[in-house]
């Protein structure tokens, strides 16, 4: 599958998506969001892909939406624009395969929302993250008002949303917006190393962890506990559990197959 605004590489079961509009700081225009949708559809079904890393070309991860497109939207068009972007970003959030944002530079507006939709965020020391939509007379449209407080808490999220201020990578780490901060030259390799560590584990177990966390956060503790227990029971019947327990007892590395 070919793309105009993305580059896709697959190596050692890790898919690396690079948003490739460096002259526009990788702004998420309508066509780029559409390509992300197609790409996630492709990767969900690929047996040779077990984890997904997304990054940006040049000095930005993704610096928001395309302002020219935003300025031309009608109210109905703006709502549809937001709903479509939300659906695409949910694909990263609900992916059964781990998703990691390698935040190599500016992650603002829709770019910050894209990073937050991934399961884990690795940021370059030079990265800046924020939701500056209020500076344009807008509010976030791709999930920023929902994911930011879930990551950093209500008060800190509202401070960032209502001022539109960006934070440094170090501050993002301190408040829990990113997981790891590394030198810019290492952001992609560290992200891939994290993905590789995840791929050493049983694929069905990874998917069960993601599902249980998401249900618990969305619907509360009791619902999350129910999904956790169900997943635990289902996994107990898999070949991977037999392999994992046998390998542990034999003091050898397991060879998981996803069955």
133 is known as an active-site residue: yes
Residues 6+ apart with CB under 8 A from 181: 122, 123, 124, 125, 127, 169, 170, 172, 173
Which two structure tokens, joined as six digits, stand for 88?
A: 């695409």
Give me Rg for the CA atoms of the chain: 19
Residue 140: per-residue pLDDT: 96
Q: How many CB atoms lie within 10 A of CB 32?
A: 24
* 6-199 is classed CATH 3.40.50.620: no
pLDDT at 65: 80
Positions in the chain short of pLDDT 50: none
What gap in Å lies between CA 257 and CA 259, rounded to an integer? 6
> Active site residue: 83, 93, 113, 218, which one?
113
159 is catalytic: no
Domain ranges of the chain: 6-199, 203-250
What 134-141 contacts at long range (C-beta under 8 Å, 24+ apart), as own/partner pairs, is 134/161, 134/162, 134/163, 134/164, 135/164, 136/67, 136/70, 138/70, 140/109, 140/113, 141/65, 141/78, 141/81, 141/82, 141/85, 141/86, 141/110
- Pick from 180, 179, 140: which is nearest to 160 by CA? 140
Q: Which one of the listed residues 133, 222, 228, 243 is annotated catalytic?
A: 133
pLDDT the model gives residue 155: 98
Determine the pLDDT at residue 71.
Answer: 80
Per-residue model confidence (pLDDT) at position 199: 97
Cβ neighbours for 45, distance < 8 A, ≥ 6 positions apart: none
| Residue 68: predicted pLDDT | 81
Residues forming beta bridges with residue 181, ordered by sequence position: 123
Q: What spatial distance separates the first Cα and last Cα of the chain, rounded to whole Å?
A: 28
- Residue 110: Cβ within 10 Å count: 30
């Amino acid at each position: 599958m070919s793309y105009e605004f993305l580059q896709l590489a697959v190596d050692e079961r890790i898919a690396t998506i690079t948003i490739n509009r460096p002259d526009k700081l990788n702004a998420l225009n309508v066509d780029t969001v559409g390509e992300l949708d197609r790409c996630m559809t492709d990767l969900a079904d690929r047996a040779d892909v077990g984890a997904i890393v997304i990054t940006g070309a040049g000095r930005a991860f993704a610096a928001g939406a395309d302002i020219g497109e935003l300025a031309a939207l009608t109210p109905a068009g703006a709502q549809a624009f937001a709903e479509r972007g939300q659906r695409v970003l949910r694909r990263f959030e609900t992916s059964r395969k781990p998703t990691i944002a390698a935040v190599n530079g500016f992650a603002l507006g829709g770019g910050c929302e894209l990073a937050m939709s991934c399961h884990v965020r690795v940021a370059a020391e030079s990265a800046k993250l924020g939701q500056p939509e209020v500076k344009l007379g807008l509010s976030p449209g791709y999930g920023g008002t929902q994911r930011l407080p879930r990551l950093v808490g209500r008060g800190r999220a509202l401070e960032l949303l209502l001022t539109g201020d960006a934070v440094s990578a170090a501050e993002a780490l301190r408040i829990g917006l990113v997981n790891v901060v590394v030198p810019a030259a290492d952001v992609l390799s560290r992200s891939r190393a994290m993905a590789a560590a995840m791929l050493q584990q049983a694929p069905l177990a990874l998917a069960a962890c993601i599902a249980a966390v998401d249900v618990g956060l969305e619907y509360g503790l009791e619902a999350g506990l129910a999904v956790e227990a169900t997943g635990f029971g289902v996994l107990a019947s898999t070949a991977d559990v037999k392999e994992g327990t046998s390998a542990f007892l034999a003091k050898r590395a397991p060879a998981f197959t996803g069955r």
